[in-house]
Every structure is written in C-alpha cells, then in structure tokens.
Amino acid sequence: LGLKVHFTELDMDVLPAAGDGTGADITKNFKLQKKLNPYAGGIPDSVQQALAQRYAGLFRLFLKHRGTVGRVTLWGVSDGGSWLNDWPVRGRTNYPLLYDRDLKPKPAYYSIIKEANQAARLED
C-alpha cells in the first residue's frame, strides 16, 4: 500500500516474566518476589550488553527498512521513569530504556548510534 510503518511505545523488559508473560493487561498484579526482581541493586554488565545487542539488532532491521519505517518512538527516556518498574509487579526495578536513572546513556544507546553510523557509511 506504500504506507509508512510506525513503531511506538518501544522498550525492552530485562526481568523474568511474571505469570504467562504475554500481553499488557494493566489489571495484572503479582506479588514482589526476589526471583522476579533479580537486579534490584543494579543491572549486571552481561545483562546490559545483552540489552544493547537486542536494541542493535532491532534498529539494524529498522534501518534496513528505513524506506518503510517512518518513525520509532520509545516508551520513555530513562529507566527511572519506566512503567515496567511497577508492572506487573509493584516495586520491581527494571532497565528497559536507553538512559539510566541518572539520565546517562547506556550501552543500548551507543549500540543504536553505532548501527545508524554504519548504515550512513554504507549509503555514502
């Protein structure tokens, strides 16, 4: 049809799924448990790097299809303000976005920039 595709409300949960882990039913609420909140004290570097690779792969795909992808919008700016901190488990600490709680860019941010720079070089 020649329509542009918009990806909106993008974030990537790094915590174990509570319940069946599908959908975004806001009425779901699970009890806070250590196994569902393993990074309460901070995200391990291995998880940080895995998140960066997930974002890189997704943006590589977006860039490959940039003629069709009109917009990509994330679900927030920093981890501190993410809705995933309290859903579906109130009190969890999540790290789904490109900036940390101090508004500093995370490895995921730099992985996207790297993909964009590589795509730009290929166009030249």
pLDDT digits (tens, 9 = 90+) for 72-99: 999 999 999 999 999 899 999 999 999 9
pLDDT digits (tens, 9 = 90+) for 18-48: 887 677 777 888 999 999 999 999 999 999 9
Structure pTM? 0.90
> Does residue 32 contact residue 89 with C-beta atoms inside 8 Å?
yes
14-to-11, 37, 55, 67, 94 alpha-carbon distances in Å:
10, 10, 12, 30, 7
pLDDT at position 63 is: 95
Residue found under tokens 């990509």: 72
pLDDT at position 19 is: 81
Residue found under tokens 């992808």: 69
Residue 51 above 80 pLDDT?
yes
Helix H or strand E encompassing 114: helix 107-123
- Adjacent-strand bridge partners of 10: 74
